[in-house]
Structure 1
């Protein structure tokens, strides 16, 4: 039994090291060490194992459990990016946005249109907006529109100025659009980072060395592409003359390099107003969070919701409200 506990202690120690290692994504670029970003993908599983092992140690060795509990205090903030309980503000918002990867309308354009009209958004951020049957998905009361390759925005408010941010349409897309609410100009930034383009058959196939090798090569290549995209978008955000609302599909999970750097100096609206689990992509067996809404510190978020009541895409719609004074 003692030998088993020693092995388990070493195993638990490495789990905590890997969890704490995700902090390094805020400092180390994928170009320097791309595999560090993989730890962010494993974070939920590692955190679950950490909690189960703490329960085990609490039953057999309370002092050991206490040590791991103390170490886990440093993991509260990273965990809240996945699971949070902050709740809705008592204030009433005057700007309601929806961000949605539309999956090119494959799961039904009419269902998507009907849903979006039913939630009455002021602004819709679309990614993967290649709607095959219709060049434009007409939405009620949202008469202003800007499109940049496969990313677009529909707005109730006049778009004062808009333009692309990323310069390679073959590797994701991003743009900005300026609107005015209550005399306040707001810069909306729609982000769609380069996707991984995994084949579901490949994911469900038997694990082999060649399969693992293909996965690792894909991860490394995409992490490097993301680094370049994040640098361009972050520079643009830092130079914005107006408060920013950043939303879209990052194709990256919380605690990743992409999350840390795009979200730097901004508020994660899920952490401010979200309640429950943040996962938004449901096409694979393990649901993950890759859709985000961030805002400048001077903007007041009122509510945040991942709407799992509908399946109009392989992503759930994310709805957020703000009060713009």
Structure 2
């Protein structure tokens, strides 16, 4: 091997090793509490970029120096856990008899109550076969109620008195009561509903945690951070400012999530179904806290990244359904067939477990 080839090989090997180290740091950043480390709260957003770069090195080494493939392969092995959170791979299973379909859907205020959007969403939801639908960032009126009442006998709502946001729960099962979680925190909207499913009470929690705090213009510019477009000074300054804003929002989400977890723990032994727009990716501290408490239905049963938010070329999965061990999830998916909101709906099936296994994560 001549000196140039040897030098090139060593440089590429070093670059691949650095990529693996950064991928590890980014992938496991969900262990950092944003209250203590707000600037690192959202580095998980760039995790898929490093997955792709590592894949590029793997392909390159397969075509050139095969022994160097051990470096990117080791990277994938070491990052298996965050990679599985971000883009799970699961065996497909048939949905068993007796399972019920559930859905979480941020409806983007029905496009400010636009009648055509209301009807499109109603047609989709009413025809979905879902027994329980939790909507976030909604509005509510007689028109909206009428659009769903033929299919859903039980409809309940909760309103944020600060910003007027409404959450809606549509159910084919009786809704017995409701409770506001974290009523002292105005930046989130979390409600718990007691639902009687086949004679057994289940607590259905509908959550919309603190938003990013970015304006629509800033969200449009935010993709430059993820792309690494730091070529000019103004972009660098704007990016740094937005990173600070995003970190502060992540910091505010922590007590919101902790409040929901305290509520769940107060209902120990009771079946729980949690739906929501977390405004946090699978590689985040808040998602990690909830996934330690409940089973993430998408990660457990689905395949692929499942992008649920798709506005301004920002593509992330921030919508979730989770369940206690009283339920077993099946075949969750993000449905891209309807494009009315800035979110796609997330749906799947759950069935009562025959026995409770200890939750592990």
TM-score, with structure 2 as normaliser: 0.82
Say if 1:93 and 1:321, in contact at 8 Å, map to a contact too: no
Q: Which runs of structure 2 are paired with 1:150-299 in the superposition (5 Å)?
A: 150-168=166-184, 170-205=186-221, 208-241=235-268, 242-299=270-327
Say if 1:164 and 1:176, in contact at 8 Å, map to a contact too: yes
2:40 corresponding residue in structure 1: 36
Deviations 1:7-45 (A, max 9, x none): 444443333223222464454311211233322111111
Instruction: Label 1:181 to 1:208 Cα distance change in 2 as closer, same or farther (>3 A).
Output: same
Structure 1 stretch displaced more, 266-275 or 95-104? 266-275
2 CA distance for matches of 1:217 and 1:133? 41
2 CA distance for matches of 1:148 and 1:16? 46
Aligned Cα root-mean-square deviation (Å):
2.4
Say if 1:269 and 1:293, in contact at 8 Å, map to a contact too: yes
Gaps of 5+ in 1: none
Deviation, 1:250, is 0.5
Q: Give the secondary-structure state (helix, strand or coil) at the position aligned to 1:302.
A: strand
Deviations 1:46-69 (A, max 9, x none): 111111112222333333221331
Is residue 75 of structure 2 the alignment partner of residue 71 of structure 1? yes
1:56 corresponding residue in structure 2: 60
Instruction: Label 1:283 to 1:62 Cα distance change in 2 as closer, same or farther (>3 A).
Output: same
Say if 2:174 and 2:197, in contact at 8 Å, map to a contact too: no
Provide the aligned length of Structure 1 versus Structure 2. Answer: 325
Deviation, 1:131, is 4.7
Deviation, 1:133, is 8.4
Q: Give the secondary-structure state (helix, strand or coil) at the position aligned to 2:203.
A: strand
1:89 corresponding residue in structure 2: 94
Is residue 154 of structure 2 the alignment partner of residue 144 of structure 1? yes
1:324 corresponding residue in structure 2: 352
Deviation, 1:143, is 2.5
Which of 91, 97, 109 is the matching residue for 1:104?
Answer: 109
Gaps of 5+ in 2: 160-165, 225-233, 354-361
TM-score, with structure 1 as normaliser: 0.90
Deviations 1:280-307 (A, max 9, x none): 1111314210001111123111221211
